[in-house]
Amino acid sequence: MDYQLLSAVGVGIFALLFMILKLKIQAFIALLIVCILVGIVAGLSPEMILDSIKNGMGGTLGFVATVVGLGALFGGLLEHSGGAQGLAAYILKLAGEKNASWAMVITGFIIAIPVFFDVAFIILVPVVYAIARKTKKSVLLYAIPLLAGLAITHSFIPPTPGPVAVADIIGANLGWVIILGFITGIPAAIVSGPLFAKYISNKINIALPEATTVKSSTIESYPNPITIITIIGLPILLIVLKTVLLGDWFEKEMFPRSLVYAISLLGHPFTALIIANLIAWYVLGIKRGTTRDELLKISTKSFQPAGAIILLTGAGGAFKQILVDTKAGELLASSLQDAYLHPLLFAFIVAALIRVLQGSATTAMIAAAGIASPIILAGDFSAAQIALFVISIASGATVLSHVNDSGFWLVGQYLGLTEKQTFRSWTIMTSLIGITGVIMSLILWYFF
C-alpha cells in the first residue's frame, strides 16, 4: 500500500511536469488531470476522486478568489491614478540622488503590495530611465533594487496572489505571513537590491535602451504620496492588528466584547481590502475627477489578470485535497521525518525544482504548497511556523529565473540586456532573494 501511494505521488509530479514542459498544456488543466491520475493510481473510486477535486477547488477559491479579486481591483485603481509614479518620485526626492538605489528598493517593496509585478515594473521603469539619464550611471544600479523590491513583495507579502494562495492551501494565518514576510523581506531586499546592484553595475555598464521616453510629470500632478502609503498600509495594518491582538499573545477577555467583535470583522482580509478599495475608489478616483463610468471600466479591466491565477490556485487546492484524501501526504510526511530533512528545506527544494523546470513562480508555489500541505497537517507546528512554510515555498519559487520564465524576457527587453547579461543580473538577483529568504526562514523557525 505504501508503495502504491508513493507511486501515485511520483506519477502525479512526473505527469504534471511532462504536460507543462513537453506538451505545453496550461497549468490549470494539467493540475486537474494530475488529480485524477493520482487518485486512480492510489486506488480511489471515481466518486471519491471527483469529490476531492470539487471540495479542494471550492474550499480554496472561497477565500483566494475574494482576496485576489479585491487586491487586483485595488491595484487597478492605484495604477490608473498615477499613484505608483508619484510615490516613487516622492521617495526619490526624500532619499536624494546618492541614495537613489535605496529609494527604488523601498518603492518596489511598497508598490508591489497592491500592483502585479509585471505591471508595477512597466509603470515604474521610466523612473529608472530618468535617474540613469541624470546620473550617467548604469541602468542596473537602479533597476535591480526596483526589481528586488517588487519580486520580494510579490512573493512574500499578502495580499499579492502567490502568498495568499499558498497560505490558503497550507492553512497559514495571513497576519503571520505578513509579519514574517516583512521580517524576511527586508534583509533579502538589502542583499539582492542595493548591495548586489552596486556590485553588478560595476561589472555590466548598461546605458539607456534606445528610443526610451520618460513621461514628464510633476509630483504635484500625482496623488499625495502620504495618502498612497496610508491606503496601501491600511489593510495590512488591520490584518496584522487582528493577528496580534486576538492571537496567542493576549487573552481576548482583556478587551471589551465590542472591541473584539470590531477587530475580528475589520481585521479579516475581506473587510480590510473592501475598506481600502472604497477609500481608493473615492480618493484616487472620484475626488480626482474620474467619472463613475470610467471607474467601472478600470475595475472590470483590473480583474483580467486575476482570473488565471484564481483558477490555477483552485486546481492547486484540488491537488492538495487528493494528496490528503489518498493518505499519500501522510506517507510523504513520515518519509520526510525518517530522512531527517528539515520540513522548510523540503518545501523550498520542491518549489525550487518545479520553478527551475517549468518557469512560473506562481505555478511552482501552488504545486509545492499542494505537495507540502499534508506534511503540515501531520505535524504539530505553531501558526508562525506554518507561515514560515509560505516564505520557504515562496523562496524556492523565486530562485533561478531563466529562459522559461516570462519575467526573464520582460526584464531583458525593457533594460536592453543580452541573455548573458540577464543571467548575470536578474537570475542571480532572484537566486539571492530565494537563498536569503530560506535562510531567514530557518533562523526564524527557532524563535517561533
CB 333 within 8 A of CB 379: yes
- pLDDT of 211 reads 45
Amino acid at 22: K
Confidence band of 412 (pLDDT split at 50, 70, 90): confident
- pLDDT of 216 reads 47
Cβ-based neighbours of 262, under 8 Å, separated by 6 or more: none
CB 438 within 8 A of CB 392: yes
For the ranges 104-118, 236-250, 272-286, 416-430, the lowest mean pLDDT is seen at: 236-250
361 has pLDDT over 90: no
- pLDDT of 330 reads 62
Number of residues in the chain: 448
Report the distance separating Cα 354 and Cα 145, nearest Å. 26
80 has pLDDT over 90: no
What phi and psi, each to the nearest 5 degrees, are found at residue 224? -60, 125
Q: 334 or 391, which is more confident?
A: 391
Extract the C-alpha cell encoding 44: 480511489
| Percent of the chain surpassing pLDDT 90 | 23
> Looking at residues 409-437, what average pLDDT do you find?
90
Confidence band of 251 (pLDDT split at 50, 70, 90): low
pLDDT tens digits, 122-165: 888 888 888 888 788 888 999 999 999 999 998 898 888 889 88
Q: For residue 339, give the DSSP letter.
A: T
| Percent of the chain surpassing pLDDT 70 | 92
Q: 196 or 222, which is more confident?
A: 196
What distance, in Å, lies between the first and last C-alpha atoms of the chain? 36
Q: Is 24 left (phi over 0), alpha (psi -120 to 50) or beta?
A: left
Alpha-carbon distances of 318 from 36, 56, 273, 285, 311, rounded to whole Å: 10, 4, 26, 38, 11
4 has pLDDT over 90: no
For the ranges 68-77, 97-106, 302-311, 313-322, the lowest mean pLDDT is seen at: 302-311
Question: Shortest CA distance to 214 belongs to which of 114, 305, 88?
Answer: 88
Report the distance separating Cα 415 and Cα 210, nearest Å. 10
CB 427 within 8 A of CB 398: no
| 381 SS3 class | coil
Prediction pTM value: 0.79
Domain ranges of the chain: 55-301+329-360+370-445
Alpha-carbon distances of 206 from 12, 138, 214, 429, 436, rounded to whole Å: 44, 5, 17, 16, 26
pLDDT tens digits, 43-74: 888 999 999 998 888 877 878 888 888 888 88
Could you count the other beta carbons within 10 Å of the beta carbon of residue 446? 7
Extract the C-alpha cell encoding 342: 528539515
219 has pLDDT over 70: no
Determine whether 417 is exposed, middle or buried from the number of CB atoms within 10 Å of its CB (0-12, 13-18, 19+).
Answer: buried
Confidence band of 212 (pLDDT split at 50, 70, 90): very low
